[in-house]
Amino acid sequence: MQSYSRREKAADFVSSTEAIYVYEAPVRVWHWINAVSIVVLALTGYLIGAPLLTQPGEASTNFLMGYIRFVHFTAAYLFAIGLAGRAYWAIVGNRHAREMFWVPVFSREYWMDMLTMLRYYSFLGPTPRQFSGHNPLSRFAMFFVFLLISLFMIVTGFALYGEGAQAGSWQQIAFGQVSTFIGQSQTVHTWHRLGMWAIMMFLIVHVYMAIREDIMARQNMVGTMISGYRTFRK
């Protein structure tokens, strides 16, 4: 496993106002498509779990929930394929593209920086040094919250999809044992829905932190995911 080396730490530090190219185009495109997919999945997933009231008229003339399920499944495929593409780019992209997929948990320097960031976000410490990529706390959250929960949602989602696709489908063959491992279909539904709420809470905190850093940390965050460049103010 890679280590959080002094060279990497020094490369992260920026003291000038020079713009640094951080996020390559594939990462930025994935970020915004992924954000839209999560919002669509959350809205349609909520309605699937708490369906709308019965529509008036003949049942054969109403397919509203069917359309909602179709949109949900389409966004789910986009979300899963996008994450697979993001994993590929972590291999061929720059070092910032790999930060989401591993955390230097055995590095003392990393945990010291993490403590500094926690004190800063709790308004108990001074403004920490600037990072060109993810700071230690956001890196931790991206891996242990976003990435792991996303993988869990993909696995449980395709397990539930396999029930409708029925025996013999690739979804049922690949993920059919998930329900057996967790307990039963309804249990998978429950955990999948809890995962949705966890992702939404992460999304809210993520947006808040990005805007907060834009204002308080003398560096652009939201703009970096649009242009790819991060600039720093003295």
pTM recorded for the entire structure: 0.86
Three-class DSSP category at 89 = helix
Question: Tell me: the pLDDT tens digits for 122-176?
Answer: 889 888 888 888 999 999 999 999 999 999 999 999 999 999 898 899 999 999 9
Task: Give the model's pLDDT for residue 6.
Answer: 46
**Which range among 100-104, 165-169, 225-229 shows the weakest confidence by mean pLDDT?**
165-169
In 3D, which of 218, 225, 68 has the Cα closest to residue 133? 225
**CATH, domain range 6-230:** 1.20.950.20
* Contact by Cβ (8 Å): 52, 65: yes
Sorted by where each begins, the domain ranges of the chain are 6-230
What is each CA distance from 192 to 14, 143, 147, in whole angstroms?
41, 19, 15
10 Å Cβ neighbour count for 160?
Answer: 19
Report the distance separating Cα 90 and Cα 98, nearest Å: 5
Question: Tell me: the pLDDT tens digits for 71-82?
Answer: 999 999 999 999
Q: At residue 11, does pLDDT exceed 50? A: no
